Structure 1
Amino acid sequence: MAADARPKARLPGGLADVAAGDVEERQAMLDALLATYRLHGFAPLETPAVEYLDALGKNLPDEDAPDQGVFALRDDDEQWIALRYDLTAPLARYVAQHRQELPTPFRRYQAGPVWRREKPGPGRFRQFTQCDFDTVGSGSMAVDAEACALLGASLEAAGIAPGDYEVRVNDRKVLNGVLARAGVTEPDRQLEVLRAIDKLDRLGIDGVRQLLGEGRRDRSGDFTAGAGLRDDQAEPVLAFVAAGDPSRTAVLDTLADLVGDDPTGREGVEELAAIAAALDAMGVGPEVVFDPSVVRGLAYYTGPVFEAALTFETLDEKGRPREFGSVAGGGRYDDLVQRFTGQAVPACGASVGVDRLLAALRTRRAEVDAPADGPVVVTVMDRDRLADYHAMAAELRSAGIRAEVYMGTQKLQKQLSYADKRRAPVAVIAGEREFDAGEVQLKDLVLGAERSREITDRDEWRTDRTAQRSVGRSELVGAVSEILAGA
Structure 2
Amino acid sequence: MAKTKKQPRPKAQTPRGFRDYFGAEVRARTEMLEKIAAVYHRYGFDALESSAVETVEALGKFLPDVDRPNEGVFAWEDDAEGWVALRYDLTAPLARVYAQHRNDLPLPYRRYAMGPVWRNEKPGPGRFRQFYQCDADTVGAASVAADAEICAMLADCLEEVGIPRGDYVVRINNRKVLNGVLEVMDVAEDQRDAVLRTIDKFDKVGEAGVRELLGKGRLDASGAYIDGVGLSDEQAAPVLAFLTSKGGTADETLANLTAAVGGSEIGAQGVEELRMMADLLAAQGYGPDRIVIDPSVVRGLGYYTGPVFEAELTFDILDDKGRKRQFGSVAGGGRYDDLVKRFTGQVVPATGVSIGVDRLLAALHEKGRIDQTARGPVVVTVMDRDRMADYQTMVTELRHAGIRAEVYLGNPKNFGNQLKYADKRGSPVAVIAGGDEFDKGVVQIKDLILGAQIAENATLEEWKDRPSQYEVLRADLVAKVKEILGS
Whether the TM-score (by the shorter chain) exceeds 0.5 is: yes
Indicate conservation of the 8 Å contact 1:372/1:446, yes or no: no
1:168 aligns with 2:167: no
Partner in structure 2 of residue 405 of structure 1: 407
SS of match in other structure, 1:381? coil
Rg (Cα) greater in structure: 2
Partner in structure 2 of residue 237 of structure 1: 239
With 209-218 and 106-115 compared, the bigger mean Cα shift is at: 209-218
Partner in structure 2 of residue 153 of structure 1: 156
Indicate conservation of the 8 Å contact 1:379/1:429, yes or no: yes
Indicate conservation of the 8 Å contact 1:58/1:68, yes or no: no
SS of match in other structure, 1:294? coil
Distance 2:280 2:71 in 1: 37
Partner in structure 2 of residue 49 of structure 1: 52
User: What is the Cα-based RMSD across aligned positions, in Å?
Assistant: 2.9
Distance 2:6 2:219 in 1: 47
Partner in structure 2 of residue 467 of structure 1: 468
SS of match in other structure, 2:178? helix
Distance 1:67 1:399 in 2: 52
Distance 2:457 2:206 in 1: 46
- Of 313, 317, 321, 1:318 maps to 321
Report matched runs for 1:377-396 at 5 Å. 377-396=379-398
1:137 to partner: Cα distance: 0.7
Distance 1:213 1:466 in 2: 76
Deviations 1:38-61 (A, max 9, x none): 11111122221122222212299x
SS of match in other structure, 1:299? coil
Distance 1:191 1:448 in 2: 65
Indicate conservation of the 8 Å contact 1:71/1:82, yes or no: yes
Over the matched positions of the two proteins, sequence identity in percent amounts to 59
Alignment-mate amino acid for residue 243 of structure 1: S
Partner in structure 1 of residue 39 of structure 2: 36
Partner in structure 2 of residue 275 of structure 1: 277
Indicate conservation of the 8 Å contact 1:245/1:289, yes or no: no
Distance 2:452 2:215 in 1: 58
Partner in structure 2 of residue 434 of structure 1: 437
Indicate conservation of the 8 Å contact 2:23/2:374, yes or no: no
- Unaligned runs of at least 5 residues, structure 2: none
Distance 2:14 2:140 in 1: 42
1:124 to partner: Cα distance: 0.9
Indicate conservation of the 8 Å contact 1:107/1:136, yes or no: yes
Indicate conservation of the 8 Å contact 1:452/1:461, yes or no: no
With 3-12 and 80-89 compared, the bigger mean Cα shift is at: 3-12
Alignment-mate amino acid for residue 398 of structure 2: L
1:423 to partner: Cα distance: 2.3
Alignment-mate amino acid for residue 355 of structure 1: D
Alignment-mate amino acid for residue 164 of structure 2: A
1:96 aligns with 2:119: no
> Cα gap change, 1:316/1:180 in structure 2, threshold over 3 Å: closer, same or farther?
same
Partner in structure 2 of residue 178 of structure 1: 181
- Of 328, 333, 336, 1:330 maps to 333
Partner in structure 1 of residue 343 of structure 2: 340
Alignment-mate amino acid for residue 83 of structure 2: W
Distance 2:373 2:291 in 1: 33
Instruction: Calculate the TM-score normalised by the size of structure 2.
Output: 0.89
Partner in structure 2 of residue 251 of structure 1: 253
Indicate conservation of the 8 Å contact 1:167/1:306, yes or no: yes
1:424 aligns with 2:445: no
With 153-162 and 321-330 compared, the bigger mean Cα shift is at: 153-162
1:4 to partner: Cα distance: 5.8
> Cα gap change, 1:379/1:240 in structure 2, threshold over 3 Å: closer, same or farther?
farther
Distance 1:412 1:193 in 2: 71
Alignment-mate amino acid for residue 480 of structure 1: V
With 435-444 and 220-229 compared, the bigger mean Cα shift is at: 220-229
Distance 2:352 2:163 in 1: 21
Partner in structure 2 of residue 448 of structure 1: 451
- Of 295, 310, 316, 1:307 maps to 310
Distance 1:77 1:59 in 2: 24
With 203-212 and 90-99 compared, the bigger mean Cα shift is at: 203-212
Distance 2:285 2:317 in 1: 30
1:373 aligns with 2:375: yes
Instruction: Calculate the TM-score normalised by the size of structure 1.
Output: 0.89
1:287 to partner: Cα distance: 0.4
> Cα gap change, 1:317/1:365 in structure 2, threshold over 3 Å: closer, same or farther?
same
- Of 354, 367, 373, 2:357 maps to 354
Alignment-mate amino acid for residue 274 of structure 1: M
1:135 to partner: Cα distance: 0.6
SS of match in other structure, 1:150? helix
- Unaligned runs of at least 5 residues, structure 1: none
Indicate conservation of the 8 Å contact 2:185/2:235, yes or no: yes
> Cα gap change, 1:13/1:196 in structure 2, threshold over 3 Å: closer, same or farther?
farther
With 70-79 and 300-309 compared, the bigger mean Cα shift is at: 70-79
Distance 1:356 1:449 in 2: 34
Indicate conservation of the 8 Å contact 2:250/2:278, yes or no: yes
1:66 to partner: Cα distance: 5.6
Distance 1:235 1:151 in 2: 34
Distance 1:234 1:434 in 2: 86
Distance 1:222 1:2 in 2: 54
Report matched runs for 1:257-268 at 5 Å. 257-268=259-270
1:478 aligns with 2:479: yes
Indicate conservation of the 8 Å contact 1:194/1:297, yes or no: no
> Cα gap change, 1:451/1:72 in structure 2, threshold over 3 Å: closer, same or farther?
same
1:280 to partner: Cα distance: 1.7
SS of match in other structure, 1:5? coil
Distance 1:59 1:156 in 2: 31
